[in-house]
């Protein structure tokens, strides 16, 4: 029998034109786990106020997106504390959002609030604008949470340093395994990038620079994803300037992603910053090796099914891609190892949120 309401707040949504990252996918997976046991309400950003029922889960859309990319994030941060004052719930799961991660929900309620650090936004803001104010403010805000979930051990250590009194829980993301056996990676004919089109943060400029400066032995590259119009325009210009065999196909749905991974020889994650990388886990689940920079947040991948190169060495990135491209036997062996590991990994993380919420509501 269901008892008590759990609210999940997340600025991002699959229809959000300013973000459209992997966060909504993660939230949908969490709701699938929680909905059989709790009344789940997802609060997210929209163009107009409204409700939508998706299965057993209710979505409440706050009308903030009309304010634009930055304005909508400000309105979102202002609206959530008011909602937390007036809505009825037993527990609130707050997915952090830019620019300072926290949206202040713990400041207005004594009911349990879990901060979900799908990203620690301040480090990106501090790097982009070359000021440390976002980091100092984020540190202060994180101290108001009794419980925070991170996706990797590196971010967990960062949070513990900011707020030693907070209980930090590491619950990695998971993805569904392919319903049918994936094609062998040895038969793949291209490299693939899957993700949000954010040229700087996702390192797409570095990837295209690798293709422009070190094209020897590189397979054709397919880029799949969408983002804000200015980012998409920048990507188009970089592809044209590269003169390389690169194709951007825009956003793809779940079936399209599965089909694209089925023809990939490898997946590239050239990000300058990550908290987990769902696309990397998707690649491993489909039996595809991954090439990426040596970000500590990506150290969850097991040895023998990925290559980590020094950040942000484009020559090394190109060399790793070419190495996989010319060695189908290696791709096949590492792809099978990746899929076996990912199956166990995905199953092991699905119960994490349910166990945590049950403990806090007990």
Kindly tell me the sign of the dihedral angle through the C-alpha atoms of 190, 275, 40, 18: negative
Asked if residue 48 lies in contact with residue 34, where contact means CB atoms within 8 angstroms, the answer is no
Which pLDDT score is estimated for 257? 92
- Single pTM value for the model: 0.89
Look at strands 50-54 and 57-63 and give their pairing.
antiparallel
Query: In the chain, count of helices (H) and strands (E)?
Result: 12, 14
- DSSP category for residue 120: -
Out of 9-18, 110-119, 183-192, 228-237, least confident range: 9-18
Measured CA to CA, the distance from residue 340 to residue 52 in angstroms comes to 37
Q: What is the pLDDT of residue 131?
A: 78
pLDDT digits (tens, 9 = 90+) for 300-326: 999 999 999 999 999 999 999 999 999
Q: Average pLDDT for residues 56-78, to the nearest whole number?
A: 91
pLDDT-based confidence at 288, cuts 50/70/90?
very high
Whole-number pLDDT of residue 127: 72
Q: pLDDT value at position 240? A: 95
Q: Has residue 123 got a pLDDT over 80?
A: no
CA-based nearest residue to 27, from 68, 59, 67:
59
Contacts of 77 (CB under 8 A, 6+ apart): 97, 103, 104
Which one-letter DSSP state was computed for residue 350? Answer: T
> Are 249 and 222 contacting, i.e. CB atoms less than 8 angstroms apart?
yes
- Under the banding of pLDDT at 50, 70 and 90, the label for residue 233 is very high
**Alpha-carbon 50 to chain mean position:** 26
For residue 287, what pLDDT is reported? 96
- Which 3 state secondary structure label does DSSP give 266? strand
Q: What is the pLDDT of residue 20?
A: 65
**85: which 2 tokens?**
């004052």
* Structural domains of the chain in order of their starting residue, each with its CATH number: 5-171 (3.40.50.2000), 185-346 (3.40.50.2000)
How far from 151 is each of 4, 57, 119, 241, 283, CA to CA, in Å? 26, 24, 9, 36, 18
Give the Cα separation of 249 and 235 in Å (integer): 12
Q: Which residues pair with 193 in a beta bridge?
A: 223
Q: How confident is the model at residue 3 (pLDDT cuts 50, 70, 90)?
A: low
The DSSP code sequence of 47-111 is SS-EEEEETTEEEEEEE-GGGHHHHHHHHHHHHHHHHHHHS--SEEEEE-BTTTB---GGGS-SS
Q: Are 328 and 322 in contact (CB under 8 A)?
A: no
Does residue 201 surpass a pLDDT of 50?
A: yes
Average pLDDT estimate for 334-358: 93
CA 133 from centre of chain: 24
Q: Judge whether residue 282 has pLDDT over 90.
A: yes
The model's confidence at residue 21, banded by pLDDT at 50, 70 and 90, is confident
Q: Residue for token digits 């980091």?
A: 135
- Count of residues in the chain: 362
In angstroms, the CA 163 to CA 316 distance is 37
Phi, psi for residue 228 in degrees, rounded to 5: -60, 150
pLDDT tens per residue across span 95-122: 998 878 888 999 999 999 999 998 887 7
pLDDT at 297: 93
The answer to whether residue 228 scores a pLDDT higher than 90 is no
Residue % of the chain over a pLDDT of 90: 77
Residue bearing the bigger pLDDT, 56 or 133: 56
CA distances from 294 to 153, 199, 270 (A): 15, 18, 10
Q: What is the mean pLDDT of the chain?
A: 92
pLDDT at 267 over 80: yes
Could you give the CA distance from residue 121 to residue 194 in angstroms, rounded to a whole number?
Answer: 21
CB 60 within 8 A of CB 41: yes
Look at residue 27 in the predicted model and tell me its pLDDT: 93
**152-182 pLDDT, tens per residue?**
999 999 999 999 999 999 999 999 898 877 7
Which pLDDT does position 2 carry in this prediction?
56
Is residue 79 a contact partner of residue 64, using CB atoms and an 8 Å limit? yes
Work out the pLDDT band at 1, boundaries 50, 70, 90. Answer: very low
pLDDT band at 135 (very low <50, low <70, confident <90, very high): confident
d(CA 36, CA 44): 21
Handedness of CA 324, 325, 328, 332 (dihedral sign): positive
Q: Are strands 290-293 and 39-46 parallel, antiparallel or unpaired?
A: unpaired
């Amino acid at each position: 029998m269901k008892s008590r309401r759990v609210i999940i707040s997340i600025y991002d949504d699959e229809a959000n034109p300013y973000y459209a990252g992997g966060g909504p996918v993660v939230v949908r997976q969490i709701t699938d786990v929680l909905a059989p046991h709790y009344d789940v309400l997802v609060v997210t950003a929209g163009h107009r106020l409204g409700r939508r029922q998706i299965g057993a889960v209710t979505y409440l859309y706050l009308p903030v997106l009309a304010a634009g990319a930055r304005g909508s994030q400000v309105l979102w941060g202002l609206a959530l504390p008011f909602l937390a004052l007036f809505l009825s719930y037993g527990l609130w799961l707050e997915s952090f959002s830019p620019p300072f991660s926290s949206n202040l929900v713990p400041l207005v309620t004594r009911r349990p609030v879990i901060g979900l650090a799908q990203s620690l936004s301040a480090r990106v803001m501090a790097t982009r604008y070359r000021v440390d104010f976002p980091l100092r403010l984020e540190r202060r805000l994180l101290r108001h949470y009794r419980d925070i979930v991170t996706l990797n051990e590196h971010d967990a250590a960062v949070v513990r340093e900011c707020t030693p009194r907070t209980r930090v829980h590491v619950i990695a993301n998971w993805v569904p395994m392919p319903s049918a056996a994936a094609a062998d990676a040895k038969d793949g004919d291209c490299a693939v990038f899957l993700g949000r089109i954010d040229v700087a943060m996702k390192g797409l400029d570095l990837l295209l620079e690798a293709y422009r400066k070190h094209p020897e032995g590189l397979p054709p590259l397919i880029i799949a994803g969408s983002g804000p119009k200015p980012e998409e325009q920048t990507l188009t210009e970089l592809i044209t300037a590269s003169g390389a065999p690169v194709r951007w196909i825009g956003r793809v749905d779940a079936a399209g992603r599965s089909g694209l991974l089925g023809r990939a020889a490898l997946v590239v994650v050239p990000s300058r910053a990550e908290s987990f990388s769902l696309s990397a886990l998707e690649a491993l689940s489909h039996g595809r090796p991954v090439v990426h920079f040596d970000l500590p947040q990506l150290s969850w991948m097991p040895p023998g099914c990925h290559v980590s190169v020094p950040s942000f060495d484009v020559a090394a990135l190109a060399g790793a891609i070419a190495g996989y491209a010319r060695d189908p036997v290696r791709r096949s062996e590492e792809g099978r190892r990746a899929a076996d590991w990912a199956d166990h990994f995905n199953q092991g993380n699905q119960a994490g949120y349910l166990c945590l919420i049950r403990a806090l509501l007990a």
